Structure 1
């Protein structure tokens, strides 16, 4: 079994994991998951949102991080991932690893009642928001999460789950329980969402008398701005924004806030100072106001 040790470097953004055996006779640098077609391990590492670059050379793997956390918060878990992978695979470049090593870590969000649990595995291509167990029969992961009495709402998107808790407990009391459950569930390769499931806005989250879909040219421009400039930032906080409609006469934009954004105390500030301001700047003269219909 290959042993791995952690080495901190003079660059605080870069950490090295040094193996007790040679990993490669060449040197490789990966700047994105698209560069990592020859390495399942590197692909898994890029699913972690703080990983910016991966370097493999001789007997070490070096990682460069985005400035969203400190290495001390995740280095032990990364060590476990690398050791487990090398124990199961003869090479970091093996295309057919026996099993993906799942890791889950928690991130706080602007909403104090919502925690974002990020994993190195794609969970869903849909944005799935559920507020009760009765709606979760086709989303087995959410169904089992609702069996915890302190889980109030579940939002699943990409490689993370945002969970809203009840008010009677603090996160430090339940974080490890949820993290361990998610890690075990995903490692067991159980179904996350049924193939027939199609995400729809939750009942009561949209005023049906007001909501009317639009697909005119300005609506398409608004969607393009939301996709490129707004959604990545909102997803980083464990939420999502969904375009609903554009009112030509009043120039009002109606959206649906999901995940950590829904019910967040700072969502009004985000809506006006962030989303509305960005749309007004990039689409001058076309935006009057942005309203959340939930």
Structure 2
């Protein structure tokens, strides 16, 4: 098995592409070893000690390292070994699928059409771009002109994530959906 690696805009995160499906049921973000109990692969990566985040995309795994820990030169071969061993074992990537929950955003039922437009733009124009950088963006709601989004994977904590939200996504949504006034991270 050959696993390709790719840098991301976040220097603390690398994207690993095993050349096969990783998560058939959407994306999954694990920020701690406790979160990773639902995924044998994520749990194995966290057991390395210097891993602070694991994100499972449809066909990639993004791993975030502790900047105070081992560097990529040391950590990357060990991560590659864990990924290859996991897929060679035939073990599932996920034991169970837990629904991603976020803060409750009180939404006006009259804005259902606006929410639909926002979600379509995110799915068609934004999510493919952020997936190419090893991350994802999740819609959490629309209320009073404000779109609430959560950055995941390599995008979470990335130095350019604020610029991505404000200069990229906010401008795109404001252009196509005049009711959008602002985008905020949750």
Change (3 A) 1:213 1:176: farther
Q: CA RMSD in A?
A: 1.6
Q: 2:170 aligns with which of 276, 280, 287?
A: 276
Paired with 1:213 and 1:261, the residues of 2 have a C-alpha distance of: 26
| Alignment match of 1:133 (pick from 33, 46, 62) | 33
Could you tell me which of 117, 130, 142 is aligned with 2:16?
Answer: 117
Look up the match of 2:4. Answer: 105
Q: Deviations over 1:27-78 (max 9, x none)?
A: xxxxxxxxxxxxxxxxxxxxxxxxxxxxxxxxxxxxxxxxxxxxxxxxxxxx
- 1:260 aligns with 154
1:180 aligns with 2:81: yes
**Segments ≥4 residues shifted beyond 6 Å:** none
Counterpart Cα distance in 2 of 1:218 and 1:226: 12
SS of the residue aligned with 1:126? coil
User: Are 2:44 and 2:82, in contact at CA under 8 Å, matched by a contact in 1?
Assistant: no
Unaligned runs of 5+ in 1: 1-101
CA contact (8 A) 1:113 1:166 kept: yes
- How big is each residue's C-alpha offset from its partner over 1:153-193, in whole Å with a ceiling of 9 and x where there is no partner? 11101011111101122212211111122112112211111
Judge conservation of contact 1:212–1:244 (CA < 8 Å) in 2. no
Partners of 2:78 and 2:45 lie apart in 1 by 11
> Equivalent residue of 1:277, what SS?
helix
Q: TM-score, normalised by structure 2?
A: 0.91
Whole-Å Cα distance in 2 between the matches of residues 212 and 155 of structure 1?
Answer: 28
1:144 to 30, 41, 44: 44
Equivalent residues, number: 182
1:289 pairs with 2:174: no
- The DSSP-based 3-state class of the residue aligned with 1:291 is strand
Matched with 2:132 is 236
Choose 1 or 2 for highest CA Rg. Answer: 1
Please give the alpha-carbon distance, in whole angstroms, between the structure 2 residues aligned to 1:162 and 1:131.
12
TM-score by structure 1 length? 0.59
The answer to whether the 8 Å contact 1:214/1:244 transfers is no
Cα distance between partner residues in 2 of 1:176 and 1:160 = 16
The within-5 A match list for 1:56-95 is none
Greater RCO (CA < 8 Å, at least 6 residues apart): 2
In structure 2, distance between residues paired with 1:197 and 1:246: 25
> Unmatched 5+ residue regions in structure 2?
none
The answer to whether the 8 Å contact 1:139/1:193 transfers is yes
- Which structure's residues are more often helix, by fraction? 2
Deviation at 1:126, TM superposition (A): 2.1
CA distance in 1, matches of 2:80, 2:21: 16
CA distance in 2, matches of 1:241, 1:135: 19
